[in-house]
Amino acid sequence: MKVLGINAIYHDPAAALVVDGRVVAAAEEERFSRRKHGKRPLPWSAWELPELSAAWCLAEAGISPDELDAVAYSFDPALMSTPEQSGLFDDGDVMRKMYAEKAPSFLAHALPGLAEEKVRYVQHHVAHAASAGLAAPESSNSVLVLDGRGEAHSHLAGRYVDGQLEVLAGQALPHSLGLLYEDLTDHLGFLRSSDEFKVMAMASFGKPRFVGELAQAVRATGDGGFRTEKVDFAEFAPRLRAGDEWTQDHADLAASVQQRLEDVLLDLVRWLHARTGDQVLTLAGGTALNCVANTRIAAEGPFDEVWVQPAAGDAGTALGGALHVARALGDVTQPMPGADLGRGWSDEEIEAVLVTASVDYERPRDVADTVAETLASNGIVAWFQGRSEFGPRALGHRSLLAHPGYEANLERMNDVKGREQFRPVAPMVLLERAPQIFSRGPIPSPYMLFVHDVAPEWRDRIPTVTHVDGTARIQTVDRADEPLVARMLECFERRTGLPIVVNTSLNTAGRPMVDDPRDALECFGSAPVDLLAIGPFVVRRPKATPRPA
């Protein structure tokens, strides 16, 4: 069966293609349209479809729209509650419902040859659940969807047994841990549905001194659900506008909400485990990108193993929706092979772009060693290799790399990316070396979705990636999965004694991650990056940037 998955209703529009139960392609629309998050999550943008990523998925597999067996649309308008029933009083829902009902005809228009009746609605949280439970390596698992909102709910607890989902609980709106966190994001002057990770970063600078006051408003109810009553955050710290300086009160508020979130999640996880007794927990939904909470779930929760969908936000529902429908049509689905499900380029295609741009480039004997040499001398490297990542994290395919041994490199990297100085950057580390340096969070951690404690004797050796609280959000690199990245790390260790490199996403402020070779050249041309390693080629910046000692 050939099933295309579409996410369009709220944010992070994306497409994914599942052929005979295998995920063959998945990509977010922002990588094509070059508009961060694809669109703003507003009611009147609900009609906008991931047209470019959908067309690419089909082209990648050599399939025309009329050959599709089904299209999974990850939202079911028939299940929506009214603005009054949901308690959100969101008038925009009328428009969302109308656009979702029209989605089959919009899709048939966007993908000529597709018959409207091939489009199937998949409940939003079932699509999220499938992106975890069906995409994870273990086919039987408990699943928790932690979201802002779906049609009428904000969460789902259930389990997959041999690929079949049993739903055990779902919290009805307006109670929503995701919306609570979004409200706080907005209160702190950041962009709702986009900048929640900045709140998590800010929380690490604060003390959770307001948790007592929040305990009644934000709590688990003991039946698999929870309550999130409206909180007037201004009682704890005044509202900020974009760009305002935050104070200790703001950090303390962020830390307090973060802790309540973690405590409630742990209650939900324990309830689910008591029902299923499973070994493996899988997570999806935007809140599952909260790697601090994920780490507490893994470290303190009852499950032996926690697997988080790398595209845990709404983009992942394209993939989950497609897997769910493929199952419903009788296919045996396979776990996702990795996060590198986006566009890739042959050496010849890359070289043609370099020739067109008329830049000087070389083809070194070993690009991994050339990159390690530049990093060892404290240069910054733009690393463009293989297929792009599905989800918000750079995982060694569209990455910006640096030496982790210089404290000044944190500010330098944040300057390159034009972003706030309190934002941490993360390390990638060879898998077999990780346990000597990092603890508490699970290892392996290939998708950068947990935080780890940095061993005290290592903190001064890797100050760029050691956060203020002594933690780091690591990506472990297994040479079986990522041989080129692993070799680069080995070459870097030979030169410096450090099996770790700073890894952040290859983009500049406000722009989506680089996706195609031209994006890479544009990014390289506009940012103080010393070397672009693109496929087997390297492009050097003619005049090296000043390097802090």
Report in angstroms how near the CB of residue 320 gets to Fe ion at its nearest. Answer: 10
Contacts of 383 (CB under 8 A, 6+ apart): 371, 396, 397, 398, 399, 400, 401, 488, 506, 533
Which structure tokens are listed for 284?
A: 């999806």
Question: By three-state DSSP, how is residue 306 classified?
Answer: strand
Closer CB to Fe ion, 158 or 517, in the complex: 158
Report in angstroms how near the CB of residue 265 gets to Fe ion at its nearest. Answer: 16
Report in angstroms how near the CB of residue 162 gets to Fe ion at its nearest. Answer: 25
DSSP conformational letter for 120: E
**Diameter of the chain measured on Cα atoms:** 65
Q: Does 147 bind Fe ion (CB under 5 A)?
A: yes
> How far is CA 509 from each of CA 12, 141, 347, 415, 513, rounded to the nearest angstrom?
17, 38, 28, 9, 10
Closer CB to Fe ion, 256 or 287, in the complex: 287
Which structure tokens are listed for 136?
A: 């994870």
CA distance 413 to 416: 5
Given the rule CB under 5 A, which of 142-150, 329-337, 427-435, 529-537 is the region that contacts Fe ion? 142-150
Contact 296, 262 (CB under 8 A): yes
Report in angstroms how near the CB of residue 128 gets to Fe ion at its nearest. Answer: 6
Report in angstroms how near the CB of residue 285 gets to Fe ion at its nearest. Answer: 6
Say which amino acid occupies 257: V
Closer CB to Fe ion, 182 or 519, in the complex: 182
Which residue's Cβ has the minimum distance to Fe ion? 147
444 upstream amide cis, omega within 30 of 0: yes
Given the rule CB under 5 A, which of 17-25, 145-153, 373-381, 408-416 is the region that contacts Fe ion? 145-153
Report in angstroms how near the CB of residue 75 gets to Fe ion at its nearest. Answer: 9
Given the rule CB under 5 A, which of 102-110, 147-155, 180-188, 480-488 is the region that contacts Fe ion? 147-155
Given the rule CB under 5 A, which of 185-193, 308-316, 478-486, 523-531 is the region that contacts Fe ion? 308-316
Number of residues engaging Fe ion in binding (CB under 5 A): 2
Q: Does 314 bind Fe ion (CB under 5 A)?
A: yes
Contact 249, 295 (CB under 8 A): no
Site string for Fe ion, 72-111 (x = CB under 5 A): ----------------------------------------
Q: Half-sphere exposure (CA, 13 Å, Cβ side) for 202?
A: 24
Closer CB to Fe ion, 316 or 427, in the complex: 316
> How far is CA 351 from each of CA 199, 281, 363, 383, rounded to the nearest angstrom?
41, 44, 10, 15
CA distance 303 to 387: 32
CA distance 334 to 163: 10
Q: What is the CA radius of gyration of the chain?
A: 23
Q: Does 252 bind Fe ion (CB under 5 A)?
A: no
Closer CB to Fe ion, 79 or 211, in the complex: 79
Closer CB to Fe ion, 147 or 389, in the complex: 147
Given the rule CB under 5 A, which of 264-272, 313-321, 409-417, 427-435 is the region that contacts Fe ion? 313-321
**Beta strand extents in 170-279 (DSSP E only):** 218-220, 226-228
Given the rule CB under 5 A, which of 75-83, 97-105, 144-152, 241-249 is the region that contacts Fe ion? 144-152
Report in angstroms how near the CB of residue 295 gets to Fe ion at its nearest. Answer: 22
DSSP conformational letter for 233: G
Report in angstroms how near the CB of residue 407 gets to Fe ion at its nearest. Answer: 38
CA distance 319 to 19: 12
Closer CB to Fe ion, 321 or 396, in the complex: 321
CA distance 95 to 80: 12
Given the rule CB under 5 A, which of 67-75, 135-143, 312-320, 329-337 is the region that contacts Fe ion? 312-320
Report in angstroms how near the CB of residue 120 gets to Fe ion at its nearest. Answer: 18
Residue 61, judged by CB atoms within 10 A of its CB (0-12, 13-18, 19+), counts as middle
Closer CB to Fe ion, 130 or 502, in the complex: 130
Closer CB to Fe ion, 147 or 519, in the complex: 147
Residue 305 phi/psi, 5-degree rounding, is: -140, 140
DSSP conformational letter for 235: G
Report in angstroms how near the CB of residue 385 gets to Fe ion at its nearest. Answer: 30
CA geometry: angle 194, 196, 201, nearest 5 deg:
135
Closer CB to Fe ion, 21 or 320, in the complex: 320
Closer CB to Fe ion, 75 or 271, in the complex: 75
Report in angstroms how near the CB of residue 392 gets to Fe ion at its nearest. Answer: 14
Report in angstroms how near the CB of residue 511 gets to Fe ion at its nearest. Answer: 23
Contacts of 392 (CB under 8 A, 6+ apart): 289, 311, 313, 505
Given the rule CB under 5 A, which of 67-75, 195-203, 307-315, 524-532 is the region that contacts Fe ion? 307-315
Closer CB to Fe ion, 23 or 288, in the complex: 288
| Interacting residues with Fe ion (CB under 5 A) | 147, 314
